[in-house]
Chain A
Amino acid sequence: MRLSEGGRIDRSRTLTFTLDGEEYAGHPGDTVASALVAAGRVRVGDSIYLGRPRGVFSAGIEEPNAFLRVDGGAAMTTATTTPLVDGLSAWTLSGLGVLDEEPDDRVHDKHFCHADVLVVGGGPAGLAAALVAGRTGARVTLVDDQPELGGSLLASSGEEIEGMAALDWVGIVAAELTALPEVRVLSSTSAFGSYDDNYVLALEQLPSGAGTRLHHVRAQQVVLATGAVERPLVFPGNDRPGVMLAGALRTYLNRYAALPASRVTVLTNNSSTDELVVDLEAVGVAVTVVEAGRPDALAAVAAATAGQFAGQVLAVSGGWSPVTQLWTGRQGATRWDASLAAFVPDGEVAGQQVAGAANGAFDLDGCLWEGARAGAAAATAAGFSTSAPTFRAGSGATAAYAISPVWLLGDPADTGWQHEAFVDLQRDQTVADVAKALGAGMRSVEHVKRYTSAGTGADQGKSSGLVTAGVVAALTGREVGEIGVSSQRPPYAPISFAALAGRERGDLFDPERTTPVHDWHVEHGAVLEPVGQWLRPWYYPRVKADGTVETMDEAVARECVAARTGVAMQDASTLGKIVVRGADAGEFLNRIYTNAFKRLPVGSARYGVMCGVDGMIFDDGVTLRLAEDTYFMTTTTGNAAAVLDHLEEWAQTEWPELDVTMTSVTEQWTTVAVVGPRSREVIARVAPDLDVSVEGFPFMTFRETVLAGGVPARVCRISFSGELAFEVNVSGWHGRRVWEQVFEAGADLGITPYGTEAMHVLRAEKGFPIVGQDTDGTVTPQDAGMAWVVSTKKDFVGRRSHDRVDTRRPDRKHLVGILPVDGSRLAEGTQLVAAGADLTPPVPMLGWVTSSYFSPTLGRPFGLALIESGRDRIGSTVAAVVGDRLVDVEVTSPVFYDPEGERRDG
């Protein structure tokens, strides 16, 4: 029933909602659980494994029973933490949710901030801390998981602070905090993880279930005022609906004016239930109190309840445990306090204070005093000066706490009841399960936890963790303090993946890089391929004469033929570009590349390979010498950042004496590759000032010129296809314009834009490896058949590694060509074994296919492969494993096309 007065609910408005399709009503300020309790319903979903009926057990985040799925909201949450909103529709769960198939399109935001003092918890200790610290002018952030400040005061009655009703004091403090310019108060915000150097994550629930905001707070000082959580008692039938934590019942009564029953039996081992009895009697509820330590306690409970639970509540209290998850998450120590029968924080964590119930101070005066002290200490440590004022609680304040620890009620001589006495309601684990774990030899609570799964539920054993230790103690005759509790790990509160993802999903999951020509590619129907973070044209399918669209194979074949027989063009802007500059730039590149660059003439270009210090190929590309002290390096598209890092590392850490600097200019340039026997004609048209003759513009040189139309350009004669080819480099500002200029200049020649797939086919026909596709970090230049690029006259990064016993092994895998004998196209990654190999495992593997395409030039599929002693096998046959059959594969030279290199000059 709902009391006619009192509580923190707004009776002027009524909110309706449904649970399992049944209609209920409540008020603003209610949780779903409090509205249910007020409606006389404590029954929620059945238990997870045993299917036993269960009821609302707590009034907070520690709830082990009342799990809900909320339509359009959380796939699994607790009724005790879900604020009631009008029209809410929820369904009870049996301890397990099902991931929502629908995308979560609520707002999930992130907020990164700094604080001088972060206070976690808005109860009396946290408020005192925030107020004292805030008054110093320090930047204070106060986070509290409830929609309203006050903490335990919201559930209490008759308490006074500074001569006024406690909640009036809370209101005045809240107003002052809000008015302080450097103080931020975050309600409905749960600090769920505490990490190195006071980095705290806190999740704010936006009003009306609109979504979440994830706060990343870096704080100089942290005050933990996280309060305490009540523990249940273990006895047969302690899971029945109507059994409820005593503090939760008091919360429903005082905070929500909700009374679930007219008769209450209190089973307790401590003094914290005294106020509950007073409060219940004040509203006319008949109360029977049973001391848990009495030998006949269970009989007394049975007598008081007459075995009947309908319309009754059995309020249980096994004492209180400080909430220390954030403290222990930072490796903070705890010690067993026998007078509290609880673990309390001990020792120090740098930059952290603990105050109030979280520190074992269970009386209001203690909370206020500790809070003020912690707030002053934190502000002082953060560089602000203060003396802590004191806040005085009135005479009605919470009295000193006394406990006679009892964990388990039941006849030790008889074990028949053990399977009905629950230690973990959420995981349905009983005393019998703990006894079984102990019988199997488990002793540590960590082992008992994993053997039984007690403490691993969605509630993370918040209320049951120490109870499990208590039961182990009772069954083994050991002390709880010596047994301890299992490690508590973040997150303290359940966090949805959508909240962690925030806005970094869909298009914002990863940066997407496009070239200045990108829109042209899209307008001309390019199918795009992600390469690193770049989006590159993969191929450009055309509409055929019969009105259908080319397949990928058809488009790629057409693009390849154009490059080999006419003229084709590609946007090569994504290649990494690094300007290497300084008096020692040549010496630097000599040490970085396996081949020499120091004497490369100005105006010339050279292909280079760089290795890691382990001698394995790291990257490759063509480098131009722009001036005596300036080189222009290109890298593979996906490796540009890693190459820059590599150069910086060697320049800074090994050769700081070299005068050399690196600058990434990848995005400053647009590069148009013009490829094919007729490319010279196109270049002559777009660069009329340029001598494009073979003699006037030799292979592996570049020229600075001004294009028709006035755009300055650097034109290179380099080729990644084996054909006559030019690369036109212009400022990215003019990228699209120059691309279109080239396209128009070649229109009458049938100039064909081509994508990355045709590029791959063309380069593979020439046996040019792609670093990262045909190599994998275990391939030396010699393995790749590029001994010619490795200087024997100078030292370079990785050279010594080429002389290791392992890198000189004759049976290393070599990069070779392959031709499937049956004319099929093998999948890249296909494993290669000896011809005619017996496929009974283990089958010795000779290598694998690294590249595989259909070649329109060869008129057949071909590929590249890394094969053990591959160059010694050229001309012989190995076998590709395709499903459960073998396909014979001829091993060939990796160069399939124009081995004499006659086509590069057109």
Chain B
Amino acid sequence: MLLITCPWCGPRDETEYHYGGQAHVAHPEDPSALSDEQWAAYLFYRDNPKGLFRERWVHSGGCRKWFNAVRDTVSYEIVETYVGAPGGAR
């Protein structure tokens, strides 16, 4: 079981969290301006890298806050957790 550091609460067991998929995939400003292909890319397509991956987690069993993490998909090591943009404050 991973030990994940919530930026607000500190290290907690993985079971307190829910996974939220790839991070930094913003809802488009004006969806109606997008083609079906562009909308489908937002809706359905996500990266699946081997190695470091920026992803979202929510501390659902704790403070209920969303945050971002950098996780190594090979070792599962969570290298960093942060709020907001990459490099943002903890």
Q: Which residue of A lies closest to B34 (CB)?
A: A800
Which residues of chain A (643-691) have a CB below 8 Å from chain B? 645, 648-649, 652-654
Q: Which residue of B lies closest to A350 (CB)?
A: B77
Contact A800/B64 with A653-B56, A795-B32 known, Cβ cut-off 8 Å? no
Contacts of B32 in A (CB 8 A): 795, 799-800, 803
Contacts of A653 in B (CB 8 A): 56, 66
Contact A648/B36 with A331-B75, A614-B43, A795-B31 known, Cβ cut-off 8 Å? no
Mask: chain A, 795-808; 1 = CB below 8 Å from B; 0 = not: 10001110111000
Q: Which of B1, B26, B58, B76 is within 8 Å of A649, CB to CB?
A: B58
Asked if A199 is at the interface (CB within 8 A of a chain B CB), the reply is yes
Per the bound structure, the CA–CA distance linking A748 and B74 in Å amounts to 71
Asked if B79 is at the interface (CB within 8 A of a chain A CB), the reply is no
Asked if A197 is at the interface (CB within 8 A of a chain B CB), the reply is yes
Contacts of A350 in B (CB 8 A): 77
Contact of A645 with B58 in the complex, beta carbons under 8 Å: yes
Q: Which of A196, A648, A649 is within 8 Å of B2, CB to CB?
A: A196
Which residues of chain B (53-78) have a CB below 8 Å from chain A? 56, 58, 60, 64-66, 75-77
Asked if B50 is at the interface (CB within 8 A of a chain A CB), the reply is no
Q: In the complex, how many angstroms separate the beta carbon of A176 from the nearest chain B beta carbon?
A: 31
Asked if A218 is at the interface (CB within 8 A of a chain B CB), the reply is yes
Contact of B26 with A654 in the complex, beta carbons under 8 Å: yes
Which residues of chain A (208-225) have a CB below 8 Å from chain B? 218
How many residues does chain A have at the interface if contact means C-beta atoms less than 8 Å apart? 22
Per the bound structure, the CA–CA distance linking A801 and B44 in Å amounts to 11
Q: Which of A218, A649, A652, A803 is within 8 Å of B3, CB to CB?
A: A218
Per the bound structure, the CA–CA distance linking A692 and B24 in Å amounts to 52
Q: Which of A218, A645, A795, A803 is within 8 Å of B60, CB to CB?
A: A645
Asked if A613 is at the interface (CB within 8 A of a chain B CB), the reply is yes
Contact A799/B31 with A197-B2, A653-B66 known, Cβ cut-off 8 Å? yes
Q: In the complex, how many angstroms separate the beta carbon of B30 from the nearest chain A beta carbon?
A: 8
Mask: chain A, 177-217; 1 = CB below 8 Å from B; 0 = not: 00000000000000000011101000000000000000000
Contact A801/B65 with A195-B1, A331-B75 known, Cβ cut-off 8 Å? no
Contact of A805 with B66 in the complex, beta carbons under 8 Å: no
Q: Which residue of A lies closest to B28 (CB)?
A: A800
Contact of B31 with A197 in the complex, beta carbons under 8 Å: no
Per the bound structure, the CA–CA distance linking A212 and B73 in Å amounts to 35
Contacts of A800 in B (CB 8 A): 28, 31-32, 34, 39
Per the bound structure, the CA–CA distance linking A649 and B21 in Å amounts to 12
Per the bound structure, the CA–CA distance linking A831 and B75 in Å amounts to 46
Contact of B76 with A196 in the complex, beta carbons under 8 Å: yes
Contact of B40 with A804 in the complex, beta carbons under 8 Å: yes
Which residues of chain A (714-751) have a CB below 8 Å from chain B? none
Q: In the complex, how many angstroms separate the beta carbon of A576 from the nearest chain B beta carbon?
A: 16
Q: In the complex, how many angstroms separate the beta carbon of B40 from the nearest chain A beta carbon?
A: 7
Contact of A652 with B66 in the complex, beta carbons under 8 Å: yes
Per the bound structure, the CA–CA distance linking A331 and B77 in Å amounts to 12
Q: Which residue of B lies closest to A652 (CB)?
A: B66
Per the bound structure, the CA–CA distance linking A244 and B20 in Å amounts to 55
Q: In the complex, how many angstroms separate the beta carbon of A281 from the nearest chain B beta carbon?
A: 51
Per the bound structure, the CA–CA distance linking A799 and B28 in Å amounts to 12
Contact of A613 with B60 in the complex, beta carbons under 8 Å: no
Contacts of B2 in A (CB 8 A): 196-197
> In the complex, given contacts A653-B56, A800-B34, A801-B39, what are 16 additional A-B residue pairs having Cβ atoms less than 8 angstroms apart?
A199-B13, A218-B13, A613-B43, A645-B18, A645-B60, A648-B58, A648-B66, A649-B20, A652-B65, A653-B66, A654-B27, A795-B31, A795-B32, A800-B28, A804-B39, A805-B36
15 contacts across the A-B interface (CB closer than 8 A): A196-B14, A197-B1, A199-B1, A218-B3, A218-B13, A613-B43, A645-B58, A648-B66, A654-B27, A795-B31, A799-B31, A800-B28, A800-B31, A800-B39, A801-B39
Please name the 10 residue pairs, one residue from A and one from B, whose CB atoms are nearest each other, closest first: A800-B31, A197-B3, A199-B1, A652-B66, A196-B2, A654-B27, A653-B66, A800-B39, A195-B1, A196-B76
